[in-house]
Chain A
Amino acid sequence: MTYHKTAVILCACSSIISDTIDWAEVQRLLATHPCRPLFKVDELACGVDHLEQLAEWLRQEQPERVVVAACSPREHETTFRKLLADAGINPWYLQMVNVREQIAWVTPDPVQATGKAARMLSAALYRVQRHEPLSERSVPVRTEVAVIGAGPAGMQAALTLSRADRQVTLIEKEPFIGGLPVRFEELFPNLECGPCLLDPVMADLLHGAESAHVNLLTLSEVTEVTGSFGNWNVTVRQRPRYINRDLCIGCMICASVCPQHRPNGWNCTGELAAVDVPFAGALPNFPHIDAECCLKLQGGECDACLAECPVEGSLYFEDRERVVTIQAGAIIVATGAVEKQEIPTPFTDATELHTAYSFERLLAMNGPTGGEIVKSDGTAPASIAFVHCAGSLDADEVPYCSGTCCRAALKYAYLAESKLEGADITRLVREQSVPGVDAGRQLHGDTSRVVRYAGSGDLTVSVEGGGQLISCSESGQQIPAEMIVLMRPVVPGGGTVAAARLLELPLDGAGFMVPLHSLSAPCATSLKGVYLAGSCRGSADVRDAFASGTAAAGHALSDLVAGRNLLVDPQVATVDAALCSGCKTCLQLCPYKAISWNEKDKVADIADILCRGCGTCVAACPSGAITGRGFSRDMLRAEMEGVLS
């Protein structure tokens, strides 16, 4: 074992340390240490003047290693690494000994404290001999961002980024943007009009000053993601719209003359023409053609739309599926949530049954009834029952509370009362969650009948005397319900599940994306360069969608700065390919997907950009092929031996 010239700085911390630890005695105890350390006692090593003097001393002495005995490395490791750099020494040749917090302050007896300080310094001296010079790797990064999902969260993220001149690709699976709320007439709690709130946002995206920075891909889904933080390759499959967006003026004459029709899934009822828009005002203002419904695309003889289209070439039947690869430094997932589809048992045979979404469409001016609350026969219902928690708080279905449906139900009750004079309105409630000042006002203004029920087993639906009734077995109450609206739990959307699979990101118990930290990093993920916005993180309202969209964009803006390379922390794990036996043990362990299998050499590879240096793989490698830089086996062993010697 060769020993390097090692300097030891002993900080008195304005006598806070030296009152308990006798630095002269420590020097005496360590005088025969095989490193033959060079000591310097300093009154307050972190002081600006002192750091300058210490740097000068280090420059004169030119040690190869430095040990600093002072406060916690959590407080001043960065300070002293910088001291080494200033003195022309590799900053990773530093080892700190925490003599203040972990010796002087917790060891009342000065003799014992001094002995322990000498022991811990001896260990640090042995450890620091094994340190390797490290440097941060500088990697050029792309500043473009791919945003998946063009609901309020994704749109807000895209707009925020584009206002900072970032190039954004906004990927949306539907033929239109705006997500769910663009289809809602009134938004809780202040009954703002959804399209009115979102139209300016959508207009900015499509036609505003920032629109030049936004490449919108509708009818598109991500099929593959490769690469890593700063350099992602996102493969997108775009289905054909059969409309030339450069020519189409959005007059919709084609839709009015099309002879073919298909069910309108977006309205949950009614029909659309084969070439049509899902609802009036859908943006971008172009129709799309459903190839399975269109006679011409199915090989039939039909030119109805072509004959009437005022701009030749707008209808583009030669359009084909495209595969686009986008290069981006960061990815923002804003894939959203949906309401649970299956109808719970007590309601499977009920008539005039709505879910929250289909009722929203009924309320919407651009919905199937022009905003009228009517039954399927066109008449107004004399009674409506809103069933809260229909499937939520139920261990067999969805155990959690979605947190948004009570507020929506209060809104529905209010709107139903305004639209249907004298109607009998009931809210069947298991639990009520209505947080917020504005929501409280709505709750206190609510005039509907509130009936508590115990669970879905408590309810039965029957038809008596021509009217539909909901019976609560526990309270014996019977509630007239010509129309029933089920407040179904909010569950992850299909896009959220797909994005998690493609990015190999973890999902929580309900299937939502797991943030890096639920409180302190709710819009980041365990994968660097992938951020979350909106209800892919769990049920959320419009306010949260806008806030998290801004937050996710903030992550991308601060992590990827034009002209600033990514500095990769050198304190990561590395694989010695010669020692790796190819057992693949480590591949399963890494929480950050930093380890991949190198098929060519049959060894594990660690991407330093993704590795966060925890060392779990280092501890697990049966061949000892993985080294944790900064915390290598040799370093820990030397430290241990130093303590025990």
Chain B
Amino acid sequence: MSCQTLPPKIYQQSSSEGMVVKSSSRPKIIAFLCNWCSYTGADKAGSQRLTIPPEVSVIRVLCSGRVEPTLILEAFQKGADGVMVLACHPGDCHYKEGNLRAACRAELLIQMISQLGVDPNRFCFDYVSAAESEKFSRITNQFVSRLAVIL
């Protein structure tokens, strides 16, 4: 039996080792933000007193290219309801091309988590510049709403 023929939700049962799926109204969201663009954009959202859902917990990395897919899978394994990776826009990466590596990895990860039975809607990869505080607020709020439908 190939992996494609497995029922898509086979791994979505709670177990101490595997995926933990809880139907909670307060989803736990990990957002990996790069120091130079998206984290700065998030800081700016604060300066402008925009609203960011409290469910979103930011983990700062120097570059979105630092976030390995296994770390994202681990986040799901440990009970995250959603994971975001927010990178610099193409061409704006402080490290030239780390964001593009992150984008490639995200694309493959989305393919992979679907096969593992994780709803790809639980993962969000997007670009947020240091000026896009509004966008940061918008996409974090949208992501929480998107998860509310799933949970």
Contacts and interface: CB of A to CB of B under 8 A. Distances in A.
Interface of A: 72-74, 98, 100-109, 112-113, 115-116, 119-120, 123, 526, 571, 589, 591, 612-616, 618-620, 628, 631, 633, 636-637, 639-641, 643-644
Contact of A614 (B42, B60, B98): B98
Nearest to B94: A614
Among A106, A615, A644, residue most surrounded by chain B Cβ atoms (within 10 Å): A106
Across the A-B interface, give the 8 residue pairs with the lowest CB-CB distance, nearest first. Answer: A615-B66, A101-B46, A616-B65, A614-B95, A105-B46, A619-B68, A106-B52, A614-B63
Nearest to B81: A644
Contact of A74 (B43, B80, B94, B137): B43
B58 A98 contact: yes
Interface of B: 28, 30, 35, 39-40, 42-43, 45-47, 49-52, 54, 57-63, 65-68, 71, 74-75, 78-80, 94-98, 101, 105, 137
Contact of A616 (B28, B52, B60, B95): B95
Contacts of A123: 57, 59
A104 B71 CA distance: 28
A644 B101 contact: no
Nearest to B55: A116
Contacts of B58: 98, 102, 120
Interface of B is mostly: mixed
B44 to A, nearest CB: 8
Contacts of A644: 28, 30, 75, 78-80
A619 B35 contact: no
Contacts, number: 119
A615 B63 contact: yes
Contacts of A637: 71, 74
Nearest to B61: A631
A101 B75 contact: no
A104 B59 CA distance: 17
A100 B45 CA distance: 11
Nearest to A119: B57
Given A74-B35, A102-B58, A631-B62, A619 B67 contact: yes
Given A98-B43, A119-B57, 6 more contacts: A74-B40, A120-B58, A589-B101, A615-B61, A618-B68, A628-B66
A644 B55 CA distance: 11
Contact of A636 (B51, B59, B94): B59
Dominant SS at the A interface?
helix
Nearest to A641: B78
B51 A106 contact: yes
A72 B66 contact: no
28 contacts: A74-B43, A100-B46, A101-B43, A102-B52, A105-B47, A106-B49, A106-B50, A108-B51, A116-B57, A120-B58, A589-B101, A591-B97, A614-B62, A615-B62, A615-B63, A616-B66, A616-B95, A616-B101, A618-B66, A619-B66, A619-B68, A631-B66, A633-B71, A636-B59, A637-B71, A637-B74, A639-B59, A644-B75
Contacts of B28: 643-644
B45 A106 contact: yes
Contacts of B101: 589, 616, 619-620
Nearest to A615: B66
Contacts of A633: 68, 71
Contacts of A102: 42-43, 46, 52, 58
B46 A106 contact: yes
Nearest to B80: A644
Nearest to A518: B91
Contacts of B79: 644
A628 B60 CA distance: 13
B57 A120 contact: yes
B65 A619 contact: yes
Contact of A640 (B39, B75, B97, B105): B75
A637 B63 CA distance: 16
A640 B54 contact: no
A602 to B, nearest CB: 24
Contacts of A107: 51-52, 54
A98 B33 CA distance: 13
B136 to A, nearest CB: 9
A73 B97 CA distance: 24
Nearest to B66: A615
B49 to A, nearest CB: 6
Contacts of A119: 57
A640 B65 contact: no
B98 A616 contact: yes
Contacts of A643: 28, 30, 57, 59
A614 B93 CA distance: 10
Contacts of A98: 43, 58, 60
Contacts of A100: 46
Contacts of A640: 30, 59, 71, 74-75, 78, 80
B52 A636 contact: no
